[in-house]
Amino acid sequence: MFVTYWQIGRLILEEEQRGKERGKYGEELINKLSNDLTKKFGRGLTTANLWNMWQFYSIYPKLYAARREFEDNAERCQGFVNSFGCRRK
């Protein structure tokens, strides 16, 4: 799920927003994406979760850096992962 969240964040920022900052356009885009994705895939892709994914990619544009950070700080980062509604297996 880690990589999936990162990839969704990347798609939102690079493909959908084309690198534009969050603003009125971004809010409308996230709301529309959330509605479309929820219809197609079901629950879990709320606007809040999509903003979390967007923020995740914004903070860690390099996937290897995100993985290293999470591996080095697994306990501290578990709260971030839990914000997506995930559980450890």
Q: So what's the pLDDT on residue 6?
A: 87
Q: So what's the pLDDT on residue 85?
A: 57
Q: So what's the pLDDT on residue 21?
A: 62
Contact assessment for residue 33 and residue 13, using Cβ atoms and an 8 Å cutoff: no
Q: So what's the pLDDT on residue 71?
A: 73
Where the chain has pLDDT below 50, the residues are 87-89
Contact assessment for residue 63 and residue 6, using Cβ atoms and an 8 Å cutoff: yes
Q: So what's the pLDDT on residue 27?
A: 77
